[in-house]
Structure 1
Amino acid sequence: MNALAIARRRTLALCATCLALLIALVGIALSTGQFHIPFLDALRALFGAGDSATVLVVQQFRAPRVIAALVAGAALAVAGSMTQRLLRNPLASPDVIGVTGGASVGAVLVLAAGSVPAAFTPVAAVAGGLLVAALLGASAWRSRVSVTRLVLVGVAIQQGLAAVVNLMIVRFPEELAGQALQWTSGSLYGRTWPEIWIAGGAIAVVGAGAALIQRHVAVLDLGDESAGGLGLDSRRSRLGLLLLAVVLASLAAALAGPVGFVALVVPHIVRRLAGPPTAATLVLTALTGALLLLAADYVALNLLPIRGLPAGTVTATLGAPWLLWLMARSQRRNLT
């Protein structure tokens, strides 16, 4: 059996394992809370079977939060994988280079308006993310900066946007400030089915598009000259794929807030487990991102001494040391 077949089997086995863990964690998350529900009863209630009280608790209060974690985690992980692969930098991810910061500004502006329907939140988040991407693209185009420096520019933009969001929250009325502050910390609290249908539906469409054009990414991996020789406009293709990644990350931020480090960490985990990127590893990346964010939300909600913390606090706690390790390793490589 050749190495390619072995790698494909390993990836499929990892996907099956991750899917089984996801189903188990979904059942645990649906069954855990102030009103305990048996595991199998919680899974049945998700599909409308069981007594009315159990179905109400599961479908209206717990399931939206769980589904939001799955969808947002998958979108962030895929967006991070595409960004790192296209920019060829392990430190590049939508939350690091400022995309989720721009999405946060757009979404918080919608929250500030108060009377604006929730359906506009994903639109505003995508607009904010695209604005940041346009600023980064203009910076790179005019000054032809290196990818590493572009990442540093993105980090500066992210910090500046965080300051803008904090300033807006301070100026908000008290009732809006609490809601906005909770959202900007990466919280899945209070998610509703309309939000999930709108943002989740858009994520599904964009994610399917990203999966269909993965062959373009494989060609770009050969280098711009080789891609041009094969008839692919590398600059236009890279721009289009990055646009898909930005939209995915912005929609995820609209659904779960600017959850940090999922987009950065998951692609590295998948590469270590499954090897070089393929179409199958993209599926594994989505499953791993969904599993990580749902696990982080479950830990924040049920296992920490202070209950009800946002999932973003858990992902940041895990991701910050990982980012420092990546930066240290990158610096060692540059010195050798």
Structure 2
Amino acid sequence: MSSLSLPGRRRRSLTLCAVAAVLLVLLTAVALSTGQVKLPLIDSLRALFGFGDDGNVLVVQEFRAPRVVAALVAGAGLAVSGSLLQRLFRNPLASPDVVGVTGGASFGAVLLLATGASQALIPLGALGGGLLAAVLLGGFAWKAKVPVTRLVLVGLAVQASLAAAVNLMIVRFPAELAASALQWTTGSLYGRTWTEVDVGGTAIALTCALAFLAQRRLAVLDLGDDSAGGLGLDPGRARLGLLLLAVVLASLAAGLSGPVAFVALAVPHLVRLLAGPPTPATLALTALTGALLLLAADHLALYLLPVHGLPVGAVTATLGAPWLLALMIRRPAHRSA
């Protein structure tokens, strides 16, 4: 990959983006057509736009389409957030589900569930919990004077603490609330509505757009703090702003899909393997690949596995655990982490 010239890498990235986009369209069409009520592909597409049999329109527009769109948007958000965190921390093991962000999102969402609040407010609870995790991460790191490249260690402690708090709340919940909270904390797209998708999806899309606009700052930070300062960029302020952006993006995505594991960790590695060093084109490929992976995992959980009702987070965790193990084995420098 390194032997390719810059124009060659750009062409490769754009070609991969086109391939990922085509696969995404095909998988979306399959997801809209598959279910207990199987529809011909053309009928499902017509129903998506309000044409055809009223029953088909109801099934596609109200039950399947919100779940599919939620998977696409949340997958893209998680992947982009993971890419930002890995570049900021300069650590290939950094991701929202490792450094405590999704743990904080779970804490905020479950706490909101305990109050009996509307499902539409869960993204706000997840965002608040994710910001709480970021504050804890930054506070512990500042007090212990941990370098940015080793913040993953502090994040693991934050993640474990918040997970313990979530488990305690679930144990203390009434049975009906405990089941709902447990399903959400595993990572599930079940029962998504257009209200949730409209609010959460719009916020994730806007935050992803900000991440694309921040690529130049990230590229300057990649040169090192001294070089960044020489180019007129305040490294500390820039890193704090980008970290906040990544936390907000991961929290919003978790509010839509639950704390789905390993998408944010694995996708940036896969994109680097296929497309090379980070560029705006590879960030677009990261978003497309994250959306494709989460939608494929949800389809696998729904229709292709013998276990009925398996949450999508269980599928991504099963696929991601070997990836994390292989990554740690291949990178001895991070083995202690």
Relative to the length of structure 2, the TM-score reads: 0.96
- Residue 48 of structure 1 deviates from its aligned partner by 1.5
- Residue 257 of structure 1 deviates from its aligned partner by 0.4
Other-structure match for 1:255? 256
- Residue 149 of structure 1 deviates from its aligned partner by 3.9
CA distance in 1, matches of 2:107, 2:185: 9
Q: Is 1:169–1:177's contact at 8 Å kept on the other side of the alignment?
A: yes
Other-structure match for 1:203? 204
Other-structure match for 1:25? 27
More off after superposition, 162-171 vs 144-153:
144-153
User: Which segments of 5 or more consecutive residues in structure 1 lack a partner in the other structure?
Assistant: none
1:77-88 matches, cutoff 5 A = 77-88=79-90
- Residue 178 of structure 1 deviates from its aligned partner by 1.1
Over 3 Å counting, the alpha-carbon distance change for 1:332 and 1:99 in structure 2 is closer
Other-structure match for 1:324? 325
Other-structure match for 1:152? 153
Other-structure match for 1:239? 240
Q: Is 1:72–1:290's contact at 8 Å kept on the other side of the alignment?
A: yes
SS at match of 1:231: coil
Other-structure match for 2:78? 76
Quick check: 1:42 aligned with 2:44?
yes
CA distance in 1, matches of 2:325, 2:216: 32
Quick check: 1:186 aligned with 2:187?
yes
- Residue 10 of structure 1 deviates from its aligned partner by 0.7
- Residue 147 of structure 1 deviates from its aligned partner by 3.9
User: Deviation string for 1:268-294 (max 9, x for gaps)?
Assistant: 000000000001111100000000000
Code of the residue aligned with 2:268 in structure 1: it is P
Quick check: 1:106 aligned with 2:119?
no
CA distance in 2, matches of 1:189, 1:161: 24
- Residue 156 of structure 1 deviates from its aligned partner by 2.0
Code of the residue aligned with 1:231 in structure 2: it is G
- Residue 119 of structure 1 deviates from its aligned partner by 3.2
Over 3 Å counting, the alpha-carbon distance change for 1:303 and 1:334 in structure 2 is closer
- Residue 329 of structure 1 deviates from its aligned partner by 2.2
Other-structure match for 2:166? 165
Other-structure match for 1:219? 220
- Residue 304 of structure 1 deviates from its aligned partner by 0.7
Other-structure match for 2:68? 66
Q: Is 1:302–1:308's contact at 8 Å kept on the other side of the alignment?
A: no
CA distance in 1, matches of 2:274, 2:260: 23
User: Deviation string for 1:161-183 (max 9, x for gaps)?
Assistant: 11211111121112111111111
Relative to the length of structure 1, the TM-score reads: 0.96
- Residue 146 of structure 1 deviates from its aligned partner by 3.2
User: Deviation string for 1:53-107 (max 9, x for gaps)?
Assistant: 1110001011111110000000000000000001100000010111000000100
Over 3 Å counting, the alpha-carbon distance change for 1:105 and 1:334 in structure 2 is closer
Q: Is 2:106–2:129's contact at 8 Å kept on the other side of the alignment?
A: yes
- Residue 325 of structure 1 deviates from its aligned partner by 1.6
Q: Is 1:96–1:154's contact at 8 Å kept on the other side of the alignment?
A: yes
SS at match of 1:89: coil
Other-structure match for 1:95? 97
Other-structure match for 1:309? 310
Other-structure match for 1:267? 268
Instruction: Tell me the C-alpha RMSD between the 2 structures.
Output: 1.4
